[in-house]
Amino acid sequence: MLEKKPKNIFVDGPISPVKIGEDIAHHQKKTNIGAHSIFMGQVRADAVEEATVMAIEYTAHQEMALAAMHEIREAIFVKYPLTCLHITHSLGVVKAGEICLFVFASAVHRKEAIDACEEVVERIKKELPIWGKEIFADDEYQWKGNRG
């Protein structure tokens, strides 16, 4: 299952729930799959002092991010017997309530799918050179920090 070329994971703007439904549907042909584990990150309208987050604008060092993601994929496929693993991350503006990260792990049994999905999410947050800029009304902003 090792792949040679880094796959793209980036899309412009939010990730569509309809697209996620379609991705799930496409896995119905793979009748060796018994379990899917999905994680989705959604932009929160957090209140910061007087202001509320309207959107997050994501930028990345794309080349390094895809190389890091490739390494993570390879390590995950060595560690867990997955059937497949799909990752999508937004770039650009994602409004509050919209989805910015989609991790989709599938396996014969649930434990592998669940553990792999969680590990991928943690590693994406820690290891991918991606930055979020929280945008408030009136062109105010602050740079997002990831909690542990």
Partner 1 sequence: MMEVRLMSYGALTDITGSGVLEFSIPQSVISAAELMSLLIERYPALEGKTFRIALNERFVTGEFEVGSGDHVALMPPFSGG
Contact 60, 129 (CB under 8 A): yes
Count of residues engaged in binding a copy of itself, rule: CB under 8 A:
39
Looking at residue 100, its amino acid is C
Residues numbered 30 to 49 that lie near a copy of itself (CB under 8 A) are 30-45
Pairwise CA distance, residues 94 & 75, whole Å:
29
Task: Name the one range near partner 1 by CB under 8 A: 12-20, 23-31, 73-81, 118-126.
Answer: 118-126
Of 1 and 61, which CB lies nearer to partner 1 in the complex structure?
A: 61
Report the 3 state secondary structure along the chain: CCCCCCCCCEEECCECHHHHHHHHHHHHHCCCCCEEEEEEEECCCCEECCEECCEEEEEECHHHHHHHHHHHHHHHHHHCCEEEEEEEEEEEEEECCCEEEEEEEEECCHHHHHHHHHHHHHHHHHHCCEEEEEECHHHCEEECCCCC
In the complex with partner 1, which residue's Cβ is closer, 32 or 145? 145
**Residue 4 Cβ vs a copy of itself, minimum distance, rounded to whole Å:** 29
Contact stretch for a copy of itself (CB under 8 A) within 4-12, 18-26, 60-68, 84-92: 18-26
Binding of residue 11 to a copy of itself (CB under 8 A): no
Q: Which position among 12, 110, 126, 140 is part of the footprint of a copy of itself (CB under 8 A)?
A: 110
Q: What minimum distance in Å lies between the beta carbon of 108 and a copy of itself?
A: 7
- Contact set with a copy of itself (CB under 8 A): 17-22, 24-25, 27-45, 96-99, 108-110, 113-114, 118, 121, 147
